[in-house]
Chain A
């Protein structure tokens, strides 16, 4: 139910994890991991986004399946936008005809 009241301890715990991940992502960027710097940065950002969506935005506790469907399909649509655009631009050179 959307009226489910969560414990404030849970919110503080999520907040601490988000703060720690922010410091970790800024710190890990200064270490040379080669191409994995970007991968790690995006994985940390996505973990933070997931925590915000599931707990702060109550998606983990909603009984409304339609809400989850809207979220999953909007991310899917975003991936279509990125993937198809990249497969186009990836096969040509900018500024060289």
Chain B
């Protein structure tokens, strides 16, 4: 190559031969990730659509079910996820600047926040299990009927709210578990020093995934927890 008459741009081994520049390669990877996220929007979109239709038809049961969720844990979990998004954004920035140690620390913090979210979600699910609010043979919302005599509650419609609650938070939690897997992979490679100022694409697109999962929760929180928190008259 060195004696070739054609000028060859100097670049590191990270540049694949079918791209002209590292910038183009990075933009392509990011665009591909956004296309994947577009399919994810439609994936979650189906659930949001089902939620919307049933909420419009069975508002009372949705309001009662929403009141029975633990607002304290829900808010704390939202804050935990926002903190994890900050550490992800800062880890991408640290990777752009080639600060290996900082990337490793921020990725570990992200994993801790992600696992904390899943732990809190587990506590909430276990409470629902104890209250017989999990749809199925032992489903029972007599406690809600007693607690909110002002709201007319139909057992089978209430079951739809809780089915959607578990399906939507369950699908979100599955994405979180996959996210923890992706970030463990990133942590290992960051620790090995594989990422440089010209090659940090995995950190960047892994970050896009994490932020997307955060955005899903940003919508799930008001839609599931805050349907009706007004004082009952």
Interface residues of A (CB under 8 A from B): 1-3, 5-6, 8, 11-12, 14-15, 18-19, 22-23, 25-26, 29-32, 37-38, 41-42, 44-45, 48-49, 52-53, 55-57, 62-64, 66-67, 70-71, 73-75, 77-78, 81-82, 85-86, 89-90, 94
Contacts and interface: CB of A to CB of B under 8 A. Distances in A.
A26 B75 contact: yes
A49 B231 contact: no
B30 A70 contact: no
Given A2-B27, A5-B93, A70-B35, A44 B75 contact: no
| Residue of A1, A49, A71 with most partner-chain B CB within 10 A | A49
Contacts of B228: 37
A30 B85 contact: no
Contact of A44 (B35, B71, B222): B222
Interface of B: 23, 26-27, 30-31, 34-35, 37-38, 41-42, 45-46, 48-49, 52-53, 56-57, 71, 74-75, 78-79, 82-83, 85-86, 88-90, 93, 96-97, 204, 207-208, 211-212, 214-215, 218-219, 221-223, 225-231
Contact of A81 (B42, B90, B208): B42
A93 to B, nearest CB: 8
Contacts of B211: 52-53, 56-57
Contacts of B38: 70-71, 73-74, 77
B31 A70 contact: yes
B23 A1 contact: yes
A62 B49 CA distance: 31
Contacts of B27: 2, 62-64, 67
B218 A64 contact: no
